[in-house]
Structure 1
């Protein structure tokens, strides 16, 4: 929880919190009345509106738009890979290039090919290519894979696209074990030192790239990819942070927006502090649902059928406090014990998917009653994407790099965190303190934020399907309602249930609505609800 991140829990990993993009000034396409209407709405809301870019491609960018991918074998059966170039700095294309890794699986037929369907699982920092090759390219519905080339591009700074690196494996082990609920000023200083070391490592690794990994730039990269693939419009499914990336694309290029599904939506109009508080409340909602289910089970270590969710939460907090005072053995080959921070992350990781609740009960039982922290450590490692050799994927590094560039930091100092603790603890008695201190990480970032909160309206875009889950921990349902209220052509599709995101998670109603939209172009009616 040391970075503010939101990521869809997939079959290849798990992670957490949010980012919002910067406002881009540019000439508005469309008529003056539409522009005036948007400006009026923005003034009414008190937040700027993301302005669309000119429809014509600037001459300096033409070589990028005229690229043709040279496909090669990926080493994964059925998938091809290629590399495309984008300008490091869109304001100064002469400043150099960045290489973008792209992968695809061609449409399988039968039926007329509908073009490319880009997918992004979230993060920021999750590898879209890993997601495509491990799940989307083989697990998406047959009717979708039959008609679309399934495509993924790792965003700049992520995985195969010139990844940001910050700390080595042992350094990350130390970082993830840092106490992010400091009990006194000394522990607070230790946490600040950890944030500073993390930030300095990122700055030393990629001083130029770190200034150019914003969501705006990643969205502009997707338009280059769209052109290189030969598609007139972008068709896209984005989950969690991927909804921000997709909505940003629609805001910048409404006339090039095709069929967009934004699942587990973010609200781009919120500040970093608002995002963190509202997400804190989202995890409390998810924990309440877990606790209610847990106490009905015979193996629940947090209480029995007579235990309220509030009592279960207090029992969990008491366990965290005991772990803070005395870490629990795990049998880890590298000698790691289960600290309070790792235990907390282990619990949070399981909040993304109700299918993980039995595993969490087992892990909590082992830790609380058998002094065995191995189960919670494994959940925490999956969250951080730490492998068996002690190496970490670049997810956490890219996550911070994007988040800290996209929005000004939530806090300016530890004192501001202390002042805000009551609000965070009100939002979540279980997780509030940790979320508040975790929001301090961008305070020490070596690059100043370039973005601000903004509304995204995408006037003139084709219908966009925004999906929200009522008890989503990482992207609270209110965010989907807010984004759907901003996007001029949005259709809100609601899943009444638990877990993070909805498509492909077992609801036939949700899947049918989205599949029909992707294949036939018919969006669900606005306000449709599924369970």
Structure 2
């Protein structure tokens, strides 16, 4: 999962991006175990200790800079659920996305995520990528500063808070906040922010594969985790056993371009949510009989304008529930159908009583704000990785033009998504130098790419593009709602499990439907 700050940061707890620059071909062709400077890293053993009941926890080390393996080291935290069967296939390494999502947390839910046969045959292993959670975390703003940053509302001359047409004064303040965010990253994290891109995470993943004792990597990556997997296929294709990439991200484009493309996915998901709501007797978006999807969306638009002019009631704390925070709350509905009932409740209270508390709490879900320490790091990691992988334009005019343009096709979320990419305009250029020029996974065995037709955060077209871009990509489609498919549909689960267990890939273009 993932969402950067809405109008306040770059929207990317959702965005899960990748990179595009130079990589040393020799780095790809060499066997890392044979390379002297890296031999000590590949030869490590993890001292596993029991933790959280049935699980085991440990750490391993990687070089902060793979071009200087003798320099500073980073500690990577790992957690596993040992296979329940007597003769396991090996390890299944998992990543839930983000950037900033914790693989340790994802593994903690393994009993609910994976079927009995997968749990029997694999050690389920999660890791916090470098810069994330318990793995040498990157930090930027503190929690108080982040509340201001993520909740910032761009004001417009007409009072609607429309981010497609901000006032000069409001935009100037927004630019200041974004520059302060980057400065805080440099001050609190120093050199580390130059080494948190996905290419380095993929290199760490190969060290983990070797440390686990697996000749070939078996991996399930969701959302941003698909970027890690695609990078791995490019850099270490010969070491792949099976890769499942669910909720594929775009492998090309700058941060602003990807944010605008993402607006299309959120608009598709929004229409599905509103249509479902209008079919229920207590839908707060049905203003009279015969309401259309367009009518329901317009009702949400009216609520956003009302919150911009006068913040909604907050029964939780002293934060101002303005347009930005209402947007975040509604956005939560678009990640999973499981959120739809609570979002309908939040919209009912907001529209009928002017109370935005539930919507505020839903927005907090995207950032894990219930834990302020995790909240600090998840946002910092999100921005740091996205800006390292996909630099944004340096010209403020590009963002203004994008916000105006996308406001015509995706007026509810598009402009906010465009402005959300602005942080990357000020990211240090030296932190963007270690990116992969082109990803095609040449030499990797079949890679299974899973796409959901009405996915919000990773539009379905990105899955089509990733499957086409990877030389051995195989596309599996789920005609459904929500962000990512595995664990949501029995057809998808069966095909993915068969691939993981037997490396039996489905026919390219297979479709699972409700």
Given that 1:494 and 1:527 are in contact with CA atoms closer than 8 Å, whether structure 2 keeps it comes out as yes
Given that 1:211 and 1:447 are in contact with CA atoms closer than 8 Å, whether structure 2 keeps it comes out as no
SS at match of 2:360: helix
Q: For residues 166-202 of structure 1, what are the alpha-carbon distances to aligned partners after superposition, in whole Å with 9 as ceiling and x for unaligned?
A: 1222222222221143731111111112112211111
In 1, the alpha carbon distance for the partners of 2:147 and 2:200 equals 31
In 2, the alpha carbon distance for the partners of 1:214 and 1:261 equals 21
- Cα shift at 1:359: 1.2
1:209 and 2:199 matched: no
In 1, the alpha carbon distance for the partners of 2:19 and 2:399 equals 23
Partner of 1:497: 480
Q: For residues 352-396 of structure 1, what are the alpha-carbon distances to aligned partners after superposition, in whole Å with 9 as ceiling and x for unaligned?
A: 012211211110110111121111011011112111779725111
Q: For residues 42-88 of structure 1, what are the alpha-carbon distances to aligned partners after superposition, in whole Å with 9 as ceiling and x for unaligned?
A: xxxxxxxxx834235421111101111111122x0111111111011
Given that 1:234 and 1:257 are in contact with CA atoms closer than 8 Å, whether structure 2 keeps it comes out as yes
Instruction: Mark the CA change 1:227 to 1:336 in structure 2 (over 3 Å): closer, same or farther.
Output: same
- Cα shift at 1:3: 4.1
Moved more, 141-150 or 270-279: 270-279
Partner of 1:123: 98
Partner of 1:430: 412
- Cα shift at 1:406: 0.9
- Cα shift at 1:298: 2.0
Partner of 2:44: 67
Partner of 2:398: 416
1:154 and 2:128 matched: yes
In 2, the alpha carbon distance for the partners of 1:263 and 1:4 equals 23
Given that 2:92 and 2:125 are in contact with CA atoms closer than 8 Å, whether structure 1 keeps it comes out as yes
Instruction: Mark the CA change 1:452 to 1:321 in structure 2 (over 3 Å): closer, same or farther.
Output: farther
Equivalenced residue count is 495
Moved more, 449-458 or 94-103: 449-458
TM superposition score normalised by structure 1: 0.89
Instruction: Mark the CA change 1:136 to 1:3 in structure 2 (over 3 Å): closer, same or farther.
Output: farther
Consecutive unaligned residues in structure 2, runs of 5 or more: 1-5, 155-162
Moved more, 294-303 or 464-473: 294-303
- Cα shift at 1:454: 4.8
Partner of 1:529: 511
In 2, the alpha carbon distance for the partners of 1:390 and 1:230 equals 33
- Cα shift at 1:492: 0.6
Given that 1:5 and 1:123 are in contact with CA atoms closer than 8 Å, whether structure 2 keeps it comes out as no
Instruction: Mark the CA change 1:138 to 1:70 in structure 2 (over 3 Å): closer, same or farther.
Output: farther
Given that 2:233 and 2:240 are in contact with CA atoms closer than 8 Å, whether structure 1 keeps it comes out as yes
In 2, the alpha carbon distance for the partners of 1:62 and 1:457 equals 27
Among 297, 301, 314, the alignment partner of 1:330 is 314
- Cα shift at 1:453: 7.7
In 2, the alpha carbon distance for the partners of 1:388 and 1:250 equals 34
Instruction: Mark the CA change 1:388 to 1:69 in structure 2 (over 3 Å): closer, same or farther.
Output: closer
Partner of 2:3: none
Partner of 2:421: 439
Given that 2:16 and 2:227 are in contact with CA atoms closer than 8 Å, whether structure 1 keeps it comes out as no
In 1, the alpha carbon distance for the partners of 2:376 and 2:388 equals 20
Given that 2:251 and 2:466 are in contact with CA atoms closer than 8 Å, whether structure 1 keeps it comes out as yes
Instruction: Mark the CA change 1:269 to 1:445 in structure 2 (over 3 Å): closer, same or farther.
Output: closer
SS at match of 1:84: strand
List, as ranges, runs of 4+ consecutive aligned residues in structure 1 with deviation greater than 6 Å. Answer: 388-391
In 2, the alpha carbon distance for the partners of 1:221 and 1:389 equals 27
In 2, the alpha carbon distance for the partners of 1:397 and 1:137 equals 30
Alignment of 1:278-427 (within 5 A): 278-304=261-287, 306-332=290-316, 334-387=317-370, 392-409=375-392, 411-427=393-409
Moved more, 374-383 or 295-304: 295-304
- Cα shift at 1:472: 0.5
Among 477, 494, 499, the alignment partner of 1:517 is 499
TM superposition score normalised by structure 2: 0.92
Partner of 1:174: 148
Q: For residues 298-324 of structure 1, what are the alpha-carbon distances to aligned partners after superposition, in whole Å with 9 as ceiling and x for unaligned?
A: 222222552222232222122111101
SS at match of 2:147: helix
SS at match of 1:206: helix
Given that 2:451 and 2:476 are in contact with CA atoms closer than 8 Å, whether structure 1 keeps it comes out as yes
CA-based RMSD = 1.9
Instruction: Mark the CA change 1:58 to 1:23 in structure 2 (over 3 Å): closer, same or farther.
Output: farther
